[in-house]
Each structure stands twice: as C-alpha cells, then as structure tokens.
Structure 1
Amino acid sequence: MSTHVLLCCTARLQRHRVVLHSVLQRALSGAEAVNALRPFYFAVHPDFFGQHPREREVNENSLKRLNGYLENLQKPGSAPLQSMKLTFYVRDTEDVLSSGFRSVSFTLCSQDVHKTVMSVLTSCSLPLDHMKGPSEKLTGTPGVVTPFYRPIKWDKSYYTFTGFRDPEQELQQTRRVQPTLSCWLRNNEVDASTKLSQSFPRREELRRLKGQLEEELHLEDIRWQRSWGVSHRCCQLQSLMRLSQQNPENMVNLQGLTVVFADQSGMNASGHVLLGTTDVHHQWSRVFQQLPSFLRLQQEVEVLTERISLLLGGASLLEAEPLGPVQPITEHYKVLTTFHRTLQSLPLRLHPRSLQGLSVVLDSDRSTCSLHDMGHFIIPTTFDPSTLQVFLQSHAPEARLRTNRHKQLQVEEDSLIQVCVESLSLGGLSRDSSVSLVQMISCCRRLIELHPLLDLLDLQLCVSHFYSVTQDGILCVPWDWRA
C-alpha cells in the first residue's frame, strides 16, 4: 500500500511540475520576451543597416509587425491571431562591422508567447541557452526544467566572453567620431562625383526602358517599393521586357495599371500590380493571369470604402501601406468586410459630414484607437462602438489641426528643397523614407545657412540617418549633421 501511495504522489508531483512549467511559459511577460529576444534584436536592429537602406526598411517594418504580434498575444481574452509571415535580414554577429547578412523568412502561428520567442530564435539560428532551465543546460536532455522567469542583465563581460560587439558602445563611439558635414563632403566629393558620372549611362538606360515599357504595355506608371540602385532597377525592367516579348498575351491585362517592383508578387490595396524582385518569371505570369479577379476584387474594395466612409462621418479611408508593410488586396478586402459588417450591426451616431476632410487607417494589430502625428485616426478592426464614437468626436479638432499642419510642412519642405538645390547648385535633393518632414525641414534650413562654405555642383544629396556614398554616387548625410 505504501509503495502504491508513493507512486501516486510522485505522479501527481510530476504532473504538477509539468503543468506549472507550461503555465509559466504561457505567462512570459512583455519585458521577459524582450530580454529573451535580445540576441535577435542585436542581429536585426535597423541601426546596423545604415549603408543598406532596403534591408533596414525591411527590418523596421518586420519588427513593428513582430512587436504587435507579441503585444496582442499578451492581451487577456484576445481572439486567436492569424498567422503572420515575416522576413528579416540577419547580420553576422561574429563581426558587427561586417557587411555580411542573410535573409530569413518564417511564419508566426503560435498563440503562446514563449513558443513564439523560441520560434523566432530558432528560425534565425540564434542561441537558445538563455531560454533553458538549469537541468537542460547541464544534461542537454529534455526533462523537468526551471522556466525562464527573470529579465537577463547583459553585463559588459558578456560581450568580452562571446566576442560580440556592444551596440550601445558602438553607437557612442560613432557619435564621438562623427565628422562634420563640410569635412565629410570634402573627403567624399571626388568619390561621389566619379560614381555619379559612371552611373549616367545606366540612368539613361533606366529612363529608356521605363518609357518603352510604359508605352508598349500602356502602363500608368512603374514604381519601386525600395531604394534599389540604378543597375538593380535596370535588371528588373529588362526582366519584365523579356517576359513581355515571350508572353505578350499575358500583358493585355496590365493596361492602365501601375506596376510596382516589391518584395512579393500580387496586387496591393491600392490596386497596383506587385512584382516580387526575388520571384521567377512564371510567378509574375501567374499574377498577370489573376489580374481579372484582382480587378473585380478592387471594385468591391472601392464600394466598401465608400460605404465605410459614409458610416464614419465622411472620413476618407487610407491604406496602411505608406505607414507599414504592403497589404495584399485579398487581406485588405477581408479587413474591410469585417469592419463594415461590425459598423452595420453597431452603427455610430455621427453626422454624415462631421468628419469630412479627415482620414482613417484600419490596423488589425491594434487594440486601442490613436491619432497619428499626420492627423489621421488609427482604428482597430475590432472596436467598442461607444468608445470609438467618443474618441472620434473628441479628437476631431486635434486631427484637423494636425492634418493642416502636415500640409503646411509639406509645402514648406518643397519650398526649402528648391532653395537648397538652387543655392547649393545640387543635381538633386531627396530624403529617406525614415526621415520625417520636421527633420528634413530642419536639415534644409541648416544647409541654406551653411551654403557659402559648400561646393556641391551637380551632386545628388539624400538626407538620411548615416553618412554613406551609394554605388550610384548619391551622397547620403544624416539629417542632424554636425557643422
């Protein structure tokens, strides 16, 4: 009898430990998740991709989506999340200053924070030692483990022992040794001028190919999602040209549309045809064949957009693409359908024109309403009608002020860019997508004040966050440069 009781007690204790371990895993807090992902953040942080704007932008957008996914997992009573595919460029962490990196894509589908963190680390081939309990570290075999329950303190000795570079220390050193603008321009002007001159034939070829394709295929426009170089863009246009010559019958459906070279193929919420730069020709051909169904879906999207606008007091509905990753039209249609159905069943008491002139962006990753600096409302697709109505009505005056302010900033930016180009004799002046209007305006004003000391005849200047010279001879300077 005593042996039987002992076995029962042992089994109960074992079950209790397993249940406790699983509960603690699910209860991984936000702070613990962030600390557990420190090796991942260290490998993909956009600050380390200053000389690679495309990769930096991909990582910025993917990090926003990943953080939103983790945030939603930790909300009590939240509905199961849909799977989410993410792409990151992962650095070689053995040498922080190395320009080597690799592309990693994975899909988040777990409803558990701990499993999600483990999946991210595993997909990127990053160490999992800090996620294991003491018994796993000592024996290396699965068993009863002590769950991860406290934040990790990354002492300076960690970087000394592992050979990794301390990102905080590197950023401090970068700030200390950052040159002045005039000094950096003097040291890199010849290199930029040489590269710019060498890129002229490629630029001319790019203009020729773009004009020829737009004319032959009757396209409205050809655009690029990323800041790819001129040679890269020429190769993309040449691929499209070859495909149009090999399969001209598939190109009929492109008439009147805009083609965008992007990260994935399909059609976006704006009705633009996306051609993935890493896809092969048969994947592009499949998109062209699906265009009739995409266009019918686009018409339904336009009808839904108008109906939602009427229910939201006349506010216009914006696509979230300029603010984040590209949203396929099929996913956008599902979001609009769900939101419209909810609005119909729980209508808001708004005057039909009370929010006219304002804009709304739907965000399925959010749980609360917010007001963007540009003046548009950011609304979750799942909402409480009374809360949403109070928010829209109470924040409408501030939204109008911010919208008008944004328009004024755009006018001021255009004016200052023109003054800079003329006073500095520039061949062109632009800004990186990560630079805000306020930052660009501040930079332009300072450039105008400094122009007697600068000689940038016919050079191309791009305002960014780092100093660099692109392969096409564009001078990239930080918006907060030192004089």
Structure 2
Amino acid sequence: MLQSLRHYGEVHQKLVTCVRHLTTTEVSTALRPFYFNVHPDLFGQYPSQRAINENSLKQLSSIMEMLQAKRWIKPASLQFYLRDKKCEEGTFRLIKIYISERDIREAVLTILRACDLPTEYVDKIPKPPEPKKETVRINTNNIDFSKVNENDPIFGPIVMRQKINEAKEALKLKNWLVKNYQSALEKLEANRPLREEVDRLRKKIAQQWKLTDVRWDCGWNVTHFRGCLQSFMSLAEQHPEVMHVLKDRTLVFAPFTGISLEGHIMLNSGEVRHNWLDLIKNVRSHDKILFRIPGFEKSVSQVLRGIKVGRRKFMPKVLAGEYERNLQQITTSLSDYRGRRGFPKQWPQSLEEFEIVVETEAGPLMVSPTGQFIVPSSLPGFLLVNFITTNLEHAKEKMTEYKNNKYIERSLQKQCMDEFKLFNLGKDDNVTPDLMIKCCERLLEKKIDIEQYLSGIHLNVATYYSVLSDGVVCIPWNWKL
C-alpha cells in the first residue's frame, strides 16, 4: 500500500511540474501595459464602454486565478475597448480576446498580442526545460485512490472511472447474489410464520363465508395483508347478518373499494372497516350494473364487425359503473363514424379473430403484447379506425406469438423451479412472456455459475435488483452475469 501511494505521488509530481506557472508578480508586471489601456477609470465619460471593460476585467481576474491554482477553465471570449491614440477623443477600438490555454504564460501572451502590446518581458522569463518524452504506464488497479479528490486535474477521471466500474460490477447477477443471498434466506425464513398465519386466515375466511377465493392485489407486503385479514374477520364477526352475499364470490384486498368487472368484491386495504361494510351491504345494487355490462360489450362488438371485447391480463382495476360509461362512449363514437363514412374496404368482413380492450379516457392507445387493441374510451372514431387499419397485421402476429410463448414460458418457469430448487418463481406485470422466456433461458444456460445462490430463494423477475422485506429477491429480466 505504502509503495503504491509513493508511486502515485511521484507520477503526480512528474505530470504537474511539466509546465512552469508564472508567479503572481510576473503576471501583474507582464499585464501592466494592458491594464493601463483598458482600465475603467479611463472611460469615465463613456459609461457603456466603461461597463464592458469592468465586467470583462472581473472575468479575466477569475480566469487568471484559476490558471494559477492549476484548475481547469472553460474557453472564454472577452471584449475590451481600447483608446485609439491616433484618432480624436471619444474614438475606441473594440478587441475580442479568446482564452482557451491551460498555461498561464500562453494566456498572458494571447492577451498582449490581441492588443498589439510588446511581449518582451514574458519572452525574457526562461521557459522550463522540455520534459523527456516518455510514456508513463500506470497500473491504476493496484493504486488506492480512496483519498484522492474527484476534482483532481490529473487523477480525478481515473477515480470516477474506478467508481463507475465498481458500481457496474456490483450490479452483475452473480456478484449481487453473492452479496444478498444469505440476507434473502434469513428474511424468507423470518417471515415463514407470518406466511403460515396468512394462509390459515385466508382458508378460515373462505370456509366460514363460502368464498371462492381470498386474494391480495395491493402491492404492500404480507404483514399488511395479515392486518387486513384480521380486520375483515373482526368485521364479519360483528355483522354476520350481511355476510351471506359473499357466497361463491372472490374477495380481493385492493387499492379501491367496489365491484370489479369480474364481479369480485374489492376492499381498499387502506380504508376503514365502515366503508367495507357499506359496500357489502350494497353488493346487490352494484350487481345490477354488472349484469348490464355484457349487453354494452355486445354493442361494441356489433358496431365493429363482430370484434371480441376483452380485458387485458394486467388491466388496471376498474369499477363496473365506470366501465359501463366507457363502453357507451366508444360505441357512440364508432356508430357516428360508421354512419358518416363506413369502414375501410381493406378490412375483412369480420373482425371476430381480433380483440379490443376499452379502457378509461386517459388509457393508452397501443397493440398489447398479446395482440389486443388497447384503446381509450375518449378516442374519436376516425382515429380508432385508422389505428386498427394500420395495425391489423401487427396484432395478428402478436396473437400468434403470444399463444406460442405462453406455453414455452410456463414450461421454462417450471424447469427453473425444479433445477434451481426455488421456493417460488414469479414476475412483475410489466415483464411480458417473451422477456420472461429470455430470462429463464439465460438462467438455465448459466446454471453452473449461479445455482448455489438461488436454492430456496423466492425469485421475482422484474426490471430492478432488490431484496424485499419478506425475503423476495427481485432481479431484472435482462441481468448480466
């Protein structure tokens, strides 16, 4: 270590002393003729010229200080007015001085030459001997730069490069797993009693009130889920007379309270129990809207040549009443368009092999990875027709690709579960089947390098690295080894 630091100091000294800087006294003496010509006091009766010279001198002073302090400067262009002695009073000559030198001697010479002033004084100051031209090779990997400032003019870039390389190495899958594997296992084991308690509560609630399923769709961790289950059990025990409406339904703790398009009872995990009770008491009134939705979906299908009206797999949860309004809006828009213009001739007679998903007014306009047309309900008819016309073939390709990929994805997920002995394997909603396939294939390809760090892990494929509080290990689908 000591030898490395000594070598660093020697190299630093060699590089810094290659150029001799003029002293402060020498700089002042050399620029004295220049100051006599541009000093603001000489332009007392001419405020415009005085202001320009005064401002430029301030900038020049700052530049000279930085050069003497061996700091980098940005190239600068300065303007000065000089009195023209050969002409009458009030006549000035404007000069522009461009300073880009990193050597103060050359900067001083540039200033003097721009003003046609003599440079003999600077020329008489001896120049330092030319250093021998030799290539200095430094193995920076063996030098400790931890105490070197990032702004160091010589070694600053090396320090930054080392930090960037260290950060890149830390985000390689194997290195990251080595660092976080044990921590993830400990968190997973510590949460085991909690998971068992949640499973017990889910089964008890489902059996007691004859529910089809009890789900968690909120994004919070398992501790929050347990709290919601306990709150619901307490509510159900206090008001058993209204719980009969839950029979054969699915109960979901979600970001909102209402009835979903699938008929699931959604309870906001962040709301008070009184709001949950209000919804349960009024489930029948919400069901009336739900029963009307197939009719509105059929209207969209009929006006659009028999196209299927579906819902995308990870569609944001929407209340039945809002969805009904969305369907009405898109049906009206398409009916008006068809009445005025008719559909393009290149369209097939039937669009029944295609599928459309109607979302909120602020929803996206896109072809989903599954080949569905995703459209906002506020889209004008002519724009919707143009969008479908342009993307018919693209949607067909996506549908075929998805049908093939979903089976391949399931097979690869099972293979990864078995070969790596994972506790579980999941993925985020934004990881499409093709991306999941690429990730699983690469995991299996690099099995020898990483299998010891995946055994017993609850793995989730996402777009980032993280170990969640419940021990779930998130890795990006496009990881690098």
**TM-score per shorter chain, which class?**
0.5 to 0.7
TM-score by length of 2: 0.59
Task: State how many pairs are aligned.
Answer: 313
1:71-93 C-alpha deviation (Å, 9 max, x unpaired): xxxxxxxxxxxxxxxxxxxxxxx
Shift of the alpha carbon at 1:270? 2.9
Alignment of 1:463 with 2:461, yes or no, is: yes
Q: How does 1:385-424 map to 2 (within 5 A)?
A: 385=381, 388-389=384-385, 391-393=387-389, 395-424=391-420
| Partner of residue 269 from structure 2, selected from 273, 277, 300 | 277
Counterpart contact for 1:206–1:234, Cα < 8 Å? yes
Give the aligned partner of residue 445 of structure 2: 449
- Give the aligned residue type for 1:246: Q
SS in 2 for 1:194: helix
Alignment of 1:436 with 2:427, yes or no, is: no
Q: How does 1:103-182 map to 2 (within 5 A)?
A: 176-182=168-174
Unpaired segments ≥5 residues, structure 2: 1-160
Shift of the alpha carbon at 1:264? 1.6
| Partner of residue 328 from structure 1, selected from 319, 329, 333 | 319
- Give the aligned residue type for 1:469: V
- CA distance in 2 between counterparts of 1:328 and 1:184 reads 41
- Give the aligned residue type for 1:301: I
- CA distance in 2 between counterparts of 1:185 and 1:289 reads 49
SS in 1 for 2:282: helix
Give the aligned partner of residue 377 of structure 2: 381
Shift of the alpha carbon at 1:249? 1.6
- Give the aligned residue type for 1:438: D
Give the aligned partner of residue 427 of structure 1: 423
1:398-421 C-alpha deviation (Å, 9 max, x unpaired): 312211211222212111111111
Higher alpha-carbon deviation: 417-426 or 378-387: 378-387
Give the aligned partner of residue 7 of structure 2: none
Alignment of 1:359 with 2:350, yes or no, is: no
Identity %: 28
Change (3 A) 1:426 1:382: closer
Change (3 A) 1:174 1:292: farther
| Partner of residue 301 from structure 2, selected from 282, 287, 309 | 309
- CA distance in 1 between counterparts of 2:363 and 2:189 reads 51
Give the aligned partner of residue 84 of structure 1: none
- CA distance in 2 between counterparts of 1:368 and 1:468 reads 29
- CA distance in 2 between counterparts of 1:182 and 1:385 reads 52
Counterpart contact for 2:361–2:378, Cα < 8 Å? no
- Give the aligned residue type for 2:177: L
Higher alpha-carbon deviation: 468-477 or 393-402: 393-402
- CA distance in 1 between counterparts of 2:233 and 2:364 reads 46
Q: How does 1:6-85 map to 2 (within 5 A)?
A: none
Unpaired segments ≥5 residues, structure 1: 1-168
Shift of the alpha carbon at 1:217? 1.6
SS in 2 for 1:322: coil
Counterpart contact for 2:314–2:429, Cα < 8 Å? no
Change (3 A) 1:241 1:423: same
Change (3 A) 1:393 1:181: closer
Higher alpha-carbon deviation: 172-181 or 310-319: 172-181
1:10-69 C-alpha deviation (Å, 9 max, x unpaired): xxxxxxxxxxxxxxxxxxxxxxxxxxxxxxxxxxxxxxxxxxxxxxxxxxxxxxxxxxxx
Shift of the alpha carbon at 1:385? 4.4
Shift of the alpha carbon at 1:457? 2.3
Give the aligned partner of residue 209 of structure 2: 217
Change (3 A) 1:255 1:463: same
Alignment of 1:184 with 2:180, yes or no, is: no
- CA distance in 2 between counterparts of 1:321 and 1:285 reads 29
Give the aligned partner of residue 95 of structure 1: none
1:440-465 C-alpha deviation (Å, 9 max, x unpaired): 22111111011122213222111122
TM-score by length of 1: 0.59
- CA distance in 2 between counterparts of 1:465 and 1:386 reads 36
| Partner of residue 472 from structure 1, selected from 465, 470, 473 | 470
Alignment of 1:295 with 2:293, yes or no, is: no
Counterpart contact for 1:305–1:317, Cα < 8 Å? yes
Alignment of 1:236 with 2:228, yes or no, is: yes
SS in 2 for 1:409: helix
Shift of the alpha carbon at 1:439? 2.2
Higher alpha-carbon deviation: 447-456 or 312-321: 312-321
Counterpart contact for 1:365–1:380, Cα < 8 Å? yes
Change (3 A) 1:229 1:311: same
Change (3 A) 1:367 1:420: closer
